[in-house]
Amino acid sequence: MTKNVERGNSTARAGRLIRGGVLMGLVGLMALLVAACGGEDPTATPVPPQPTAPLDAAALFQVEWDTLLAAAQEEGEVVTFIAGSLGRSNLKDLLPRFEEKYGIAVIFSTGSSRQNADKTLAERAGGKFELDIWMGGSGTANTRLLPANALRPVEPLLFHPEVLDLDAWIDGRFHWLDADTQQYLFAFAANASKSDITYNTDLVDPNDIQSLQDLLDPKYKGQIIMRDPRLAGVGSVVLDYWTNPDVGEEFLLTLLTEMDVTIADDARQAAEQLALGKYMICLFACRSEVLKAENDGLPVEADFPHYTREGGRLSSGSGTLFLMDSPKNPNAQKFFANWWLSKEGQEMMQEASGNDSIRLDITKDTVAEGSRREDGVVYSWSESRLTYTQDLIDAAAFASEALASIGK
């Protein structure tokens, strides 16, 4: 009985709902007819919510930047190794600006690239990954770090609009110093030099040298000391001579085999010998140590006063950025890399070291006079050649054979 009552009640309710629905439908139809005839609808038609305007590129970048910064701050630090003249500069004294502004500590170390490569690769072989950022010359990276798969590609991590603006960089492109792969060694500096020649000011009149060919004058025989052209850190300088069509193999062969040159393994030793007057000229990447001697008041000149007929040369020196694979602090690594290559980071780099950034959209007031590029001058920059790695090997082999032929 109960089931029959529930069924009957349901049928009655259904009938009422149908009738009510028909009635409401008629009322709605009449309202529409009235509106069509000019009647006023007492209720306004609801306006659908407008879609939120999409974020523009600047806003999207800011969101990504802020999100990455928060993640980097959680990591708390970025661990760096900075070699060469940049590591010896006062960069360490300026980096607290970055730390204070962004809340990320910069763990700073410097020293020999060769020794640090030994340490870093040994740690990585043991499963210990302590380093995030490496800056220095390209030699150790090309010969040690890349073959050991210790580096990660840089470009996929770059997203800062100032960094991605190719018009801001020399030649409208990024410059890579890993010639074969073009993605690991990001050059951010290119220092100009009028010549590789450094000299003793008591013994040499620079006006006597208007061309590199003048170095072959008999009066300089036995009076030239040079860093070993077979060393990795010197090879790019030798390569500039070797690949310059106005200099080339014949000049190098004569210089190395007929001018009774002295080979020095250590740049500091070469600079000291030059300052003591034992030699008139120092070649092949002597500048940094000669500059120290010059600043100490010794009779040497690190920067040749004029361009030779062959033009000037560019060198990145220690101005190359590498990102370690499997970094200790991946978010801080990415944040620091984008900041370092931005206007703010590159202006700090120039202020600290006097190096000339290859960014074209920042002030050059703090670039050292001897490093600043000049308009209208033709420069050779062998490091940026697409065949750089093989050229470096070939030039070193040429120098080795030439010196071996005279027992050196």
* Residue 27: Cβ within 10 Å count: 9
By C-alpha distance, which of 306, 335, 312 is closest to 323? 335
Q: Give the integer Cα–Cα distance in Å for 155 and 325.
A: 13
Q: Give the integer Cα–Cα distance in Å for 175 and 321.
A: 11
What residue has token string 């980097």? Answer: 72
Q: Give the integer Cα–Cα distance in Å for 135 and 130.
A: 15
By CB neighbour count within 10 A (0-12 exposed, 13-18 middle, 19+ buried), where does 318 fall?
buried
What is the CA 379 to chain-centroid distance, rounded?
20
SS3 state at 134: strand
SS3 state at 341: helix
pLDDT given for residue 255 in this prediction:
97
Q: Give the integer Cα–Cα distance in Å for 61 and 337.
A: 15
pTM of the shown model? 0.73
SS3 state at 289: helix
SS3 state at 215: helix
pLDDT given for residue 52 in this prediction:
64
Q: Give the integer Cα–Cα distance in Å for 171 and 360.
A: 10
Topology of domain 61-192+317-376, CATH = D-Maltodextrin-Binding Protein; domain 2 (3.40.190)
Radius of gyration of the chain (CA): 34
For the chain, 408 residues long, give each residue's pLDDT as a single digit of tens: 333 333 333 333 333 333 344 333 433 433 333 344 444 444 344 555 666 667 799 999 999 999 999 999 999 999 999 998 899 999 999 999 999 999 999 999 999 999 999 999 999 999 999 999 999 988 899 889 999 999 999 999 999 999 999 999 999 999 999 877 899 999 999 999 888 899 999 999 999 999 999 999 999 999 999 999 988 668 778 888 888 888 889 999 999 999 999 999 889 999 999 999 999 999 998 988 999 999 999 999 998 999 999 999 898 989 999 999 999 999 999 999 999 999 999 999 999 999 999 999 999 999 998 899 998 888 888 888 878 778 888 888 999 999 999 999
61-192+317-376 and 195-310+394-404 share one fold: yes
List of residues 6+ apart from 83 with CB closer than 8 A: 110, 111, 112, 113, 116, 134, 135, 136, 137, 140, 318
What residue has token string 């190096």? Answer: 355
What tokens were used for 326? Answer: 């499997």
Number of DSSP helices (H) and strands (E) in the chain, helices first? 15, 14
Q: What angle do CA 355, 360, 361 make, to 5 degrees?
A: 110
Do 274 and 300 meet the contact criterion of CB atoms below 8 Å apart?
A: yes
What tokens were used for 303? Answer: 């920067």
Contacts 24+ apart (CB under 8 A), 89-98: 89/352, 89/353, 89/354, 90/352, 91/348, 91/349, 91/352, 91/353, 93/352, 94/348, 94/351, 94/352, 95/348, 97/348, 98/336, 98/339, 98/348
SS3 state at 361: coil
By C-alpha distance, which of 264, 254, 263 is closest to 212? 254
Give first-to-last CA distance, the chain, whole Å.
119
Yes or no: is domain 195-310+394-404 CATH 3.40.190.10? Answer: yes
Sketch the domain layout of the chain as residue ranges.
Answer: 61-192+317-376, 195-310+394-404
* Residue 127: Cβ within 10 Å count: 7
List of residues 6+ apart from 210 with CB closer than 8 A: 306, 308, 309
